[in-house]
Structures are given as C-alpha cells and as structure tokens.
Amino acid sequence: MKSQRNLCIVFLLILFVGVPRGFDERFPLQMEYGYPIAGEAWYYIKAAFSNNPPVGQGAWTVTRVTVHGMRARDFSVFQNGRETASPEINGDQPFAVKIRWNWQGRTGYEVKVDLENAKTKKALTLTEKGTAPAKKGYWNSGWKNYLALVVSEDNGYERTHYPVHATVGVLSHYLKSPDEIRLVKADEKGEDVVYAEIPHQVYDVRTWNDPKIIAMVDKDEKTGKTSPRYHPTTSFSLAFLTNLKPHEKATYLVFYNNPTAKKAAFKSDLKVTGQGLGKTIENDSYKITLHPKSGTIYEVVEKSSRTKLEHKLETNGSVHWNPDVYSPPHAWYHCSDWENPPYSEDVGPVFYSLRREAPLPYPKGIHISITYYFYGRSPVILAESTMEIRSDIFAEAVRNAEIVFNKAVFTRAAYRTVEGKLETVDFAASRRHPKHAAVLRPDTPWVAFYSDEKGIGFASLFLDMALPNLHGGEASQQQPYIYIQHGPWYYMSRGFVYSFGSNNQTRMLPVKAGSIYYDRNAWIPFSYKKDKGFAGYLDATYKMLKYPLGITEDIETYAESPDGWIVPILTERFEEGVKDAIGDPKKK
C-alpha cells in the first residue's frame, strides 16, 4: 500500500509540474557532474540535449562549447550511447557533451553548444542550465590547473608500493616553482569523494626557452592568421608509490599553478646519511652502506632479523661487483674497483637514486653507467646498468649482475626455473669453485641465497636484459647464462662472454665495438619463517616488477595553444651549389 501511495504522489507531481524540458530516458539527468577517479581523467560537466526542434535532421557539427561564456577547449560528444569519433551528430537524435571543467558544489552552470549544419552551414546555439550538487567538487581552487596520470594494472598482478616514475611538461608560465606541485588521489565515499595528498617527489626539472625559436610563427595561407609554433615549456619528473589490485585503474591528479604554495612535506621512513659516495641508506626494511670510493653496495642489514650481510674477503670487499671485463694482459676490472667516479643523485621522501658513469681503467673504451634506486616503504632495491664497448677487444669475461657474500649467513641457494619449478642448491653438497654450483638460463626469474636456520635470505630478481649493437645486430655474446658459485664465498652472476668460466678458460673471444649490455635487476633482503617459505613472496614481487603499469597522461588544452594542426618542419634549408637550382636560396 505504501509503495502504491508513493507512485500516486509521483504521478500527481508529474501532472502538476510537467515533464522536464528535453527529458529522454537515455539522458535522465540534463546535467551530470563527474570526478577524475578510477581511470576517469577529468572533472567534468555532462550536458544532455534531448529535445532540440531547432536542430532538425541532417549532420551537425559541434563547433564550440562554453561554460558561463568561457570557452571549453576539451570536450567529447556522445550519441546513441557511445562517444562519437568526431564532433558530428545526427540532428534529429538526442546527444550529450562532456566538458572538462573544474566545477564546484552548489554552483550553477550555463552550458552553451554552438552547432553548424554540415550541408547548409546554418548555425545555432543550444543552452542547458543546471546546479552542481552539494558535493566537494574541484579539490582546491588555490591550484588553478591540473593534469591527470591514469595508472592501469593490465597484467593481472597485485601491486604493493609499486614505484611509478612519470615525466610531464607544462607551459612555463603556469609553473613558477616545483614546490607548488601537489599529487592528489580521489576515492569514492558514498555519493561523494574523499581526497588524499599522495607523498611524491619532484625531480629533474628543466625549462626550454629559446627566444629565437619562440619568435617563429605559423601562418595560415588562406586567412593570413599567425599562431605560435612553440611555447616556453617546463618539464619535470614525478615519483610516487601506488597500490593496485589486478586489473584496477587509478587516477592521480598533478595540481600546479599556485605560486603562493609552499613545498609539501611528507613523513618518510627513507633516510640518507653520509658524505660523497659513502652514503648509508635505510628504511623500515633495510640499512645499506655504500663503499666510500666506488659507491657500490658494501653492507646490507636486514632490519627485522638484524642480520648483517657482507663480503669483505678480497679487493674492496663490496657485495655488488660488476659490470666487469677481463681482457688479458690487463687485470680483471669491475665497477667496484672504481675510485671516485663522477656521480649524480636525487634525494627525497619517495626514493634516493645514485647514478655513476665512468670508464673502466683497462682496457680502453669500456664505458659503464650504474643507477641504484632505494625507496621508502619498500624492501626492493632497483639497479640498472649499461656497459658500452667502444673499441674492438678480445676478452675472457664480460659479465654483470654479480652479488657476493661471505659464508657467515647463507647455507643454500634457490631459484625459479622458466618452467615454474623451484630448485634448490645445498652448498654443503654442491660443486665447488672453479666449477659452477649451478648453471641457469639467462632468463631465470630469480635466484636467492638463504638460511632456514637463520630465517634470512637475499634475492636477485632478473627483470630485464637487452643486448643490442649500436652498429646493427646484437652485442657480442657467448651463450649468456646465470650461474652460482661456491668457493671461499657464495656469489651469483650473469656471463655474456665468459670463456674463463668454462673448461677451456684460455680462449680469447671477440667483443665487437658498439656492443651494449643492459641489465635491470631488483635486490631484496628478506626474513621468513621456515614453515611458510619465501618462494611465493619472490614470485609475486618478480611479477609485480617485471611487468610495468600502464601510465597515460591527460592534460588540458591550454588557451594559448593554437587551434588546428601545425604542419611540422620536414626539410632543412639548403644550398644546392648549382646556379638556378631548385631549392631555398638561403643557407642553413
């Protein structure tokens, strides 16, 4: 009975008030107000036009959209339940326009849409008015601009504290200082949203501003109208950590253009101390000391078990040794043998990175770069290295990814095969140096040293490897493989060219100029309980880091940006050198 009374009341209201103008069941709300959330990139107003007698039949084009008289550069058109490929509509059918607009709650908006008939060139304007609901709306009007980073998990793996690095560019006069940048994420809460400022790190800020090039303009041949070809542009990189479920999408908003804003401050468990290359880096998971001369990893302390992992048996005693090259009669040189190589670093609440780039002492023409990334709230250390061979050499070893420990802690090794099997090596019964304890495929997912008695391990996750040659084809290689060694120490490494590690170690093998050896690895010190093991944890971490997230930038069309397409410069000015030749008479 109660439901019947409610239906009667609704029916009487309709009779009294009337059906709303332009009502159509495909567009039940004439004005919709949306948030950039879960993959949506815009704050938007969606205006529906569903009863438009002045339009009539035929093809019409949406030529201009305004909100309160201000032009909206970014909009999309919907008809028949989907977004149209162009701003064209069928005039005798309902349609909607979705507009990128920084709306505020409890605020009225007037949307005007200019249309032009494709055949008759007749023009008309449709208007729709509405008031935004009592919701939060735009995050903070103090920040006048934003861009969206849509982050998507497409591989079906859960991501926990996954590091995201993105580089974006904005017109320079919109950004006075990187301190004003804020990273914000909106999440649904009931019918509204809740905002959270996300800890982030801004780095590598660069501005392009060449007055001579900026003075160049593009001229429309038909109208004679000129428009700028270039604007001063400031680019910056942004780093943050994200948590995503399999196949989830998230929208992160990068707010800027608030010159009065002070630099954001975030709590972080990441601490960096020390001078020069000899830094100590720690977070809640580890404490790592770098060698003061080479900057390579020297000591590792796994914090939950308070276990120190180290080498300190030979040469400089570092844990991380290479890339390296052994090209007799020169000595065997490793990057851990560097002494004060040039370096650069980035320090912030999200990550600390150290990049070193230098040649090996001998042979000449071996150039190496190594970058470490240490993150807050994460047990993972990422390492990227590139070795370039600039001159032809003969060698007995070209290697990478070597990690060495003394025998104080670990008693076993484990690895996951590409077939998915878990294999173990008991060092008490393994082959000994100079024979390899194990020889593995170069695409082995991970190798770990561990001790069940101590409940401690250290894993290398082999994420990426690339072997191109700058002059074409592949880098010189001799059946690359990963191997485990048991001698006065335990170590794992990757051999690209490695006759010295074979039964015929006197062979000198060619390494051609232009060969590039690239590796990206993750290192994880970890503790575990024997009854639970660690293989599942390493499998999940490997999959999380191996397959990158999708990242899409969505940025507004600035008012300064010209309409239409600017033809690119496809030829340089040149002088033919022949009198009366066809070509530009001006020299380049």
DSSP 453-506: TTTEEEEEEEEEEE-BBTTSSBPP-SS-EEEEEESSSEEEEEEEE-GGGSS-TT
With beta carbons less than 8 A apart as the criterion, state whether 397 and 330 touch: no
Q: Are 151 and 231 part of one and the same domain?
A: yes
Q: Are 408 and 499 part of one and the same domain?
A: yes
Buried b (16+ CB within 10 A) or exposed e, 199-232: bbbbbeeeeeeeeeeeeeeeeeeeeeeeeebebe
Q: What is the pLDDT of residues 537-575, one digit of tens each?
A: 999 999 999 999 999 999 999 999 998 888 888 887 665
The last residue of one of the domains, among 505, 528, 551, is: 528
Least confident of 22-26, 191-195, 439-443, 557-561: 22-26
Residue 229 and residue 212: Cα distance in Å, rounded?
12
Closest CA to 66 of 125, 139, 133: 125
Instruction: Please check the confidence at residue 7 and state whether its pLDDT lies above 90.
Output: no
Give the H or E element holding residue 2.
Answer: helix 2-17
CA 393 to chain centre: 37
Q: For residue 560, is it within any domain?
A: no
Residue 540 and residue 547: Cα distance in Å, rounded?
11
For the CA atoms of 553, 556, 561, 567, what is the dihedral angle to 10 degrees? 40
Give the H or E element holding residue 116.
Answer: strand 108-117
Q: Are 441 and 466 part of one and the same domain?
A: yes
CATH for 161: 2.60.40
Q: How confident is the model at residue 580 (pLDDT cuts 50, 70, 90)?
A: low
Q: For residue 552, is it within any domain?
A: no
Q: For residue 537, is it within any domain?
A: no
Q: What is the pLDDT of residues 53-87, one digit of tens each?
A: 778 888 999 999 999 999 999 999 999 999 999 99
Q: Are 66 and 180 part of one and the same domain?
A: no
Q: Model pTM greater than 0.85?
A: yes
Question: What mean pLDDT is predicted for residues 253-279?
Answer: 97
Residue 81 and residue 343: Cα distance in Å, rounded?
56
What's the distance, Cα to Cα, between the start and end of the chain in Å?
87
Give the H or E element holding residue 308.
Answer: strand 307-310
Domain count, the chain: 3
Say how many C-beta atoms besides its own lie within 10 A of residue 129's C-beta. 12
Q: Are 282 and 189 part of one and the same domain?
A: no
The last residue of one of the domains, among 487, 502, 528, is: 528
Give the pair of three-digit tokens for residue 407. 């025998």
Q: For residue 263, is it within any domain?
A: no
Instruction: Please check the confidence at residue 20 and state whether its pLDDT lies above 80.
Output: no
Q: Are 318 and 444 part of one and the same domain?
A: yes
Tell me the Cα Rg of the chain. Answer: 31
Q: Are 369 and 456 part of one and the same domain?
A: yes
Q: Are 161 and 111 part of one and the same domain?
A: no
Say how many C-beta atoms besides its own lie within 10 A of residue 580's C-beta. 5
Residue 256 and residue 233: Cα distance in Å, rounded?
14
Residue 101 and residue 309: Cα distance in Å, rounded?
55
Q: For residue 411, is it within any domain?
A: yes
The pLDDT value recorded for residue 196 is 98
Q: How confident is the model at residue 4 (pLDDT cuts 50, 70, 90)?
A: very low
Residue 399 and residue 321: Cα distance in Å, rounded?
10
What domain range is 205 assigned to? 145-256
Q: What is the pLDDT of residues 133-159, one digit of tens each?
A: 999 999 999 999 999 999 999 999 999
Q: Are 309 and 369 part of one and the same domain?
A: yes
The pLDDT value recorded for residue 3 is 44
User: What is residue 300's three-state secondary structure?
Assistant: strand
Q: For residue 556, is it within any domain?
A: no
Q: How confident is the model at residue 223 (pLDDT cuts 50, 70, 90)?
A: confident
Q: For residue 372, is it within any domain?
A: yes
Say how many C-beta atoms besides its own lie within 10 A of residue 555's C-beta. 17
Cα–Cα–Cα angle for 397, 403, 404, nearest 5°? Answer: 100
Q: Are 124 and 162 part of one and the same domain?
A: no
Cis peptide, bond prior to residue 480, ω within 30 of zero: no
Q: For residue 460, is it within any domain?
A: yes
Cα–Cα–Cα angle for 486, 459, 201, nearest 5°? Answer: 145
Give the H or E element holding residue 382.
Answer: strand 381-389
Q: What percent of the chain has pLDDT over 70?
A: 92
* Distances, alpha carbon 125 to alpha carbons 49, 112, 151, 533, in Å: 11, 6, 37, 68
The last residue of one of the domains, among 206, 228, 256, is: 256
Q: Are 164 and 108 part of one and the same domain?
A: no
Least confident of 174-188, 211-225, 357-371: 211-225
Give strand pairing partners of 91. Answer: none
Give the mean pLDDT of the chain: 92
* Distances, alpha carbon 19 to alpha carbons 12, 131, 347, 480, in Å: 12, 18, 61, 74
CATH for 294: 2.70.98.60
Least confident of 219-223, 458-462, 470-474: 219-223
Give the pair of three-digit tokens for residue 150. 């849509």
Q: Are 207 and 303 part of one and the same domain?
A: no
Question: What mean pLDDT is predicted for residues 121-143?
Answer: 95
